[in-house]
Chains A and B, each alone.
Chain A
Amino acid sequence: MQFRLFLVSMLILLAPQPLPLYAHGSVTAEDDLCIIRIGFYRAHFKIFQPGSSGQTEFCEDIPNTGESIFVMEYLHQELGNVPVEFRIIHDVTGLGRFARLEDVRQIDDIDAATVFYQAPAVESDVFTVLHEFEENGDYLGIVTARHPDRDEYYQAVFPFKVGFTGFGILPLFLILLIATQLAYWFTSGGYSRRKKNAKSKTFDHSIQAPVAGKIMQVLLLLPLAALLLGASAPADERWTSDGGSYQVSYNTELSPLVINDIHQWTVHVETTTGNPVTDARLLVSGGMPTHDHGLPTSPRVTENLGNGDYLVEGMRFHMMGDWEITIEIHQGERSETVVIPLTL
Chain B
Amino acid sequence: MKLHTINSVRIMMLVAATCGIVFFWWSGNRTPAPWTDRESALIASIWLGNLPSLPPDPSNAVADDPRAARLGHRLFFDTRLSINGEIACATCHQPTRQFTDGLPVGEAIDRAKRNTPSIIGAAYSPWQYWDGRKDSLWAQALSPLEDAAEHGGNRMSYARLISSDPHYQKEYTKLFGMAPDFSDPERFPVNAGPVGNPEWQAAWDAMDEEDRALVNGVFANIGKLIAAYERKLIPGPARFDAYAETVMAGQGHEEQDLFSEEEIRGLRLFMGEARCMECHNGPLLTNSEFHNTGLLPPTGQVPDRGRSRIIAELNSDPFNCLGSFSDAEAGQCEELTYMRTGVELIGAMKTPSLRNLEDTAPYMHKGQFMTLSRVLEHYNEAPLALIGHNEAEPLGLNRRQLAQIEAFLHTLFAPPAVEEKWLHPPPLFPEASASSATLQSR
Structural contact, B299 and A67, CB atoms closer than 8 A = yes
Cβ < 8 Å to B, chain A residues 220-258: 223-224, 227-228
Measured between alpha carbons, how far is A295 from B342 in the docked complex, in Å?
11
Measured between alpha carbons, how far is A330 from B388 in the docked complex, in Å?
32
Structural contact, A313 and B334, CB atoms closer than 8 A = yes
From A51, A71, A296, name the one whose CB has the most chain B CB atoms within 10 angstroms: A296
* Interface membership of A10, Cβ < 8 A: no
Structural contact, B279 and A48, CB atoms closer than 8 A = no
Q: Which residues of A sit under 8 angstroms from B344, Cβ to Cβ?
A: 293-294
Chain B positions 311 through 344: 1 when the CB is less than 8 Å from some CB of chain A, otherwise 0: 1100000000000000000000011011111111
8 Å CB contact of B334 from A123, A224, A314, A318: A314
Chain A positions 146 through 158: 1 when the CB is less than 8 Å from some CB of chain B, otherwise 0: 0000000000000
Query: With A293-B344, A297-B338 given, is the CB distance from A320 to B37 under 8 Å?
Result: no
* Interface membership of A190, Cβ < 8 A: no
Structural contact, B339 and A260, CB atoms closer than 8 A = no
Please choose the segment from B61-69, B179-187, B281-289, B406-414 that sits at the chain A interface, where 4 or more of its residues have CB less than 8 A away.
B281-289
What is the chain A residue whose CB lies nearest that of B304?
A128
Structural contact, B287 and A130, CB atoms closer than 8 A = no
Structural contact, A130 and B308, CB atoms closer than 8 A = no
* Interface membership of B141, Cβ < 8 A: no
From B308, B335, B386, name the one whose CB has the most chain A CB atoms within 10 angstroms: B386
* Interface membership of A197, Cβ < 8 A: no
Chain B positions 275 through 299: 1 when the CB is less than 8 Å from some CB of chain A, otherwise 0: 0011101100001111000101101
Q: Which residues of B sit under 8 angstroms from A227, Cβ to Cβ?
A: 37-38, 41
User: How many A-B residue contacts, CB cutoff 8 Å?
Assistant: 118
Structural contact, B335 and A295, CB atoms closer than 8 A = no
Q: Which residues of B sit under 8 angstroms from A213, Cβ to Cβ?
A: none
Query: With A297-B335, A314-B337 given, is the CB distance from A321 to B300 under 8 Å?
Result: no
Structural contact, B337 and A69, CB atoms closer than 8 A = no
What is the chain B residue whose CB lies nearest that of A261?
B52
Measured between alpha carbons, how far is A300 from B337 in the docked complex, in Å?
10
Q: Which residues of A sit under 8 angstroms from B337, Cβ to Cβ?
A: 313-314
* Interface membership of B398, Cβ < 8 A: no
Structural contact, A300 and B338, CB atoms closer than 8 A = yes
Structural contact, B287 and A73, CB atoms closer than 8 A = no
* Interface membership of A298, Cβ < 8 A: yes
Count, chain B residues at interface, CB 8 A: 47
What is the chain A residue whose CB lies nearest that of B283?
A260
Structural contact, A67 and B282, CB atoms closer than 8 A = no
> B441: shortest Cβ distance to chain A, in Å?
43
> A255: shortest Cβ distance to chain B, in Å?
16
* Interface membership of A189, Cβ < 8 A: no
Count, chain A residues at interface, CB 8 A: 43
Chain A positions 53 through 72: 1 when the CB is less than 8 Å from some CB of chain B, otherwise 0: 01111000000000101010
What is the chain A residue whose CB lies nearest that of B311?
A124
Measured between alpha carbons, how far is A260 from B279 in the docked complex, in Å?
10
Query: With A124-B309, A126-B346 given, is the CB distance from A320 to B278 under 8 Å?
Result: yes
* Interface membership of B391, Cβ < 8 A: yes
* Interface membership of A129, Cβ < 8 A: yes
* Interface membership of A262, Cβ < 8 A: yes
8 Å CB contact of A71 from B301, B303, B309: B303
* Interface membership of A141, Cβ < 8 A: no
Structural contact, B303 and A319, CB atoms closer than 8 A = no
Structural contact, A55 and B287, CB atoms closer than 8 A = no
Measured between alpha carbons, how far is A280 from B342 in the docked complex, in Å?
26
> B316: shortest Cβ distance to chain A, in Å?
14
8 Å CB contact of A319 from B36, B279, B296: B279
Structural contact, A57 and B338, CB atoms closer than 8 A = no
Structural contact, A319 and B386, CB atoms closer than 8 A = no
8 Å CB contact of B302 from A46, A73, A130, A297: A130
8 Å CB contact of B387 from A73, A124, A130, A314: A73
Structural contact, A298 and B346, CB atoms closer than 8 A = no
Query: With A260-B282, A319-B287 given, is the CB distance from A298 to B341 under 8 Å?
Result: yes
What is the chain B residue whose CB lies nearest that of A321?
B278
Q: Which residues of B sit under 8 angstroms from A299, Cβ to Cβ?
A: 338
Structural contact, A260 and B281, CB atoms closer than 8 A = yes
Structural contact, A260 and B287, CB atoms closer than 8 A = yes
> A75: shortest Cβ distance to chain B, in Å?
10
* Interface membership of B305, Cβ < 8 A: yes
Chain B positions 375 through 395: 1 when the CB is less than 8 Å from some CB of chain A, otherwise 0: 000000001111110010000
Measured between alpha carbons, how far is A55 from B378 in the docked complex, in Å?
12
Structural contact, A260 and B346, CB atoms closer than 8 A = no
What is the chain A residue whose CB lies nearest that of B386?
A48
Measured between alpha carbons, how far is A75 from B305 in the docked complex, in Å?
16
What is the chain A residue whose CB lies nearest that of B312?
A124
Measured between alpha carbons, how far is A207 from B145 in the docked complex, in Å?
71
Structural contact, A55 and B383, CB atoms closer than 8 A = yes
* Interface membership of A341, Cβ < 8 A: no
Structural contact, A295 and B281, CB atoms closer than 8 A = no
Contacts from A to B (Cβ < 8 Å): 46, 48, 50-51, 54-57, 67, 69, 71, 73, 123-126, 128-130, 223-224, 227-228, 259-260, 262, 291-300, 313-314, 316, 318-321
What 5 A-B pairs have minimum CB-CB distances, sorted nearest first? A314-B338, A55-B383, A318-B287, A128-B302, A318-B289
Contacts from B to A (Cβ < 8 Å): 36-38, 41-42, 45, 126, 277-279, 281-282, 287-290, 294, 296-297, 299-303, 305, 308-309, 311-312, 334-335, 337-344, 346, 383-388, 391
Query: Can you give 30 A-B contacts (C-beta < 8 A)?
Result: A46-B386, A50-B299, A54-B296, A54-B383, A55-B294, A56-B384, A69-B302, A69-B386, A71-B386, A73-B346, A73-B387, A124-B312, A125-B346, A126-B308, A126-B387, A128-B387, A130-B302, A227-B38, A227-B41, A260-B281, A262-B126, A292-B391, A295-B340, A296-B340, A297-B340, A298-B340, A299-B338, A318-B287, A319-B278, A319-B281
